[in-house]
Amino acid sequence: MIKEEHTAKTIDESQQGTPLALEGRTGNGRKLYIESYGCQMNFSDSEIVASILAQEGFNTTEQLEEADLVLVNTCSIRDKAEQTIRKRLEKFNAVKRKRPGMKVGVLGCMAERLKSKFLEEEKIVDMVVGPDAYKDLPNLVQEIDGGRSAVNVILSKDETYGDVAPVRLNSNGVTAFVSITRGCDNMCTFCVVPFTRGRERSRDPRSILEEVNDLWERGFKEITLLGQNVDSYLWYGGGLKKDFDKASDMQRATSVDFSGLLEKVALAQPRMRIRFSTSNPQDMTLEVIRTMAKYENICNYVHLPVQSGSNRILKAMNRLHSREEYFALIDNIRKINPDCAISQDMISGFPSETEADHRDTLSLMEYVKYDFGFMFAYSERPGTLAERKMEDDVPEEVKKRRLQEIIELQLQHSHYRTRQHLGKVEEVLIEGSSKKSDAHWMGRNSQNTVVVFPKEHYRIGDFVMVKILDCTSATLLGEAVEYSKNN
Ligand code: SAM
């Protein structure tokens, strides 16, 4: 069977669509059911939405049937994601027929893409809210309470929700996501994100540090700084990244880039593990790699999507770097930070992709030997440059066959990479019980590889030194040796 997506490590596929719930606030009488799909930004946004609605009297519930308000935070990245969400809306419709008072709202990228068309197409939807309009939710909810439909899909130049303290939904109490940028300016020709999430803007480092410090105080041990393109982070007092050239001398002198932010976060909480995602090759600087090497608490892992190994296709995708530049970046990462794990995103069957282009992708993978990857068949997205200017001309079965070859090669490389850990003693942060065995803990090493080992006396949230004894292509199996000095 061909799997469209594989070895999800940063995007936990098992989380897709899980209802998100947290402990209720006393005094809140209404029930909110919220499901999220797509990237981690969406899951992180749902925590902002829950926080805003908690002020409006809503507690979250995991029971769809008892909800007063049902929200689905949507993803438009591939057609398949949108189809999944449409199926969920049919399910909500069935429940709504039995509970006519229940209201349904669509949030996120699909809301932004389809705007008010959504209300006409999906008759059961009462509310449509784009990713930059969540602060308007109190007004929008009032509208639908009054029996009217409500839409706000206005994209913002400066909204970063820096002043909203997210509530942690379905949290393990150990790891958390912290948003640092919103939107994307890259304009990759296949990608719908710039249209659904707007222009790129960065969040005030002060509010990022406050959130990180607060998480540490509350017992969290690891954070992932999140953005569509974290390396492009640039704070100069607010505003769009594209307007930086209009900044004053003072704003320039006091601006903070991603390596600066990473350093501030690493120094603020030296015992907290720090990860970040996603990196775009064209924006990742040597300074970021050096900062990773300098601070022990910054994890040895970079998610570095490349999408294709062919220079011709990279150009057609508007990826703004060549195969050779990508290799130079990989070489630098390995030179400065030899233990760093690297993962990829890859797209098979982009318009006009030939067998020679595909072989370039396979040979690029051979060069890098990624630790893991997220691999997709090209899906044409309305409004993108590729949809407007290029013909989706690679037959579906060819896309799938190439995807399968990419996945098989990645499996071999993943296995090669996990074998390199055998015999080593590595620090693991315990996140919870192993899915397969209640007698085992599951955690991750610095490289983001899952490690499973017998529980003994250790607890969730402990940093433990684990001797790696065995492996599969995705998981390391070991035995605890002692507490890490980090504890
Ligand atoms: N901004 C991040 C980046 O550039 O890596 C993440 C973008 S997206 C949320 C995650 C991945 O989805 C992309 O890296 C790409 O591999 C894949 N993707 C995006 N658009 C796609 C499309 N039209 N068809 C297939 N895969 C797509």
Does ligand 1 have an atom closer than 6 angstroms to the CB of 228? yes
Nearest-atom index, ligand 1, CA of 380: 23
Does ligand 1 have an atom closer than 6 angstroms to the CB of 77? yes
- Does residue 6 have a pLDDT over 70? no
3-state secondary structure 370-428: CCEEEEEECCCCCCCHHHHHCCCCCCHHHHHHHHHHHHHHHHHHHHHHHHCCCCCEEEE
Cα separation, 486 vs 352, whole angstroms: 51
pTM: 0.94
Nearest-atom index, ligand 1, CA of 303: 5
- Does residue 26 have a pLDDT over 80? no
Give the residue-averaged pLDDT of 68-85: 96
**Tens digit of pLDDT for each residue in 320-356?**
999 999 999 999 999 999 999 999 999 999 999 999 9
Omega into 278 within 30° of 0, i.e. cis?
yes
- Map residue 268 onto helix, strand or coil: helix
Nearest-atom index, ligand 1, CA of 229: 1
Does ligand 1 have an atom closer than 6 angstroms to the CB of 229? yes
Cα separation, 476 vs 461, whole angstroms: 19
Give the pLDDT score at 14. 61
Minimal CA–CA distance to 459: which of 481, 429, 424?
Answer: 429
Amino acid symbol at 454: P
Q: Kindly compute the dihedral angle of the four CA atoms of residues 232, 233, 234, 239, in this order, to the nearest 10 degrees.
A: 100
- Does residue 8 have a pLDDT over 50? no
Minimal CA–CA distance to 292: which of 342, 326, 253?
Answer: 342
Give the pLDDT score at 238. 85
Specify the residue with its C-alpha closest to ligand 1, atom 6: 228
Give the residue-averaged pLDDT of 425-439: 96
Kindly state the DSSP code that residue 245 receives in the 8-state scheme: G
- Residue 113, CA distances (Å) to 47, 109, 266 in order: 21, 6, 37
Ligand 1 centre distance from Cα of residue 469 (Å) = 35
Query: Are the beta carbons of 192 and 201 closer than 8 angstroms?
Result: no
Cα separation, 40 vs 158, whole angstroms: 21
Nearest-atom index, ligand 1, CA of 346: 16
Ligand 1 centre distance from Cα of residue 296 (Å) = 30
Nearest-atom index, ligand 1, CA of 377: 25
Show the DSSP H helices in 180-309 as ranges: 193-197, 205-217, 249-253, 258-268, 286-294
Q: Which of 191, 199, 225 to mutate to test the pocket of ligand 1 (most atoms within 8 A of CB)?
A: 191
Give the pLDDT score at 12. 54
Amino acid symbol at 362: L
Kindly state the DSSP code that residue 298 receives in the 8-state scheme: B
**Tens digit of pLDDT for each residue in 297-318?**
999 999 999 999 999 999 999 9
Cα separation, 479 vs 464, whole angstroms: 10
- Does residue 18 have a pLDDT over 80? no
Give me the residues paired with residue 103 across strands: 69
Residue that the structure tokens 């064209």 belong to: 282
Per the prediction, the chain carries an average pLDDT of: 93
Give the residue-averaged pLDDT of 87-94: 92
Phi and psi torsions of 117, nearest 5°: -55, -30
The helix-helix angle for 355-368 and 396-419 (nearest 10°) equals 10
Euclidean distance between the first and the last CA atom of the chain, given in angstroms as a whole number: 43
- Does residue 4 have a pLDDT over 70? no
Q: Kindly compute the dihedral angle of the four CA atoms of residues 310, 387, 122, 37, in this order, to the nearest 10 degrees.
A: 20
Ligand 1 centre distance from Cα of residue 146 (Å) = 39
Cα separation, 442 vs 431, whole angstroms: 6
Does ligand 1 have an atom closer than 6 angstroms to the CB of 381? yes
**Tens digit of pLDDT for each residue in 149-169?**
999 999 999 999 999 999 888
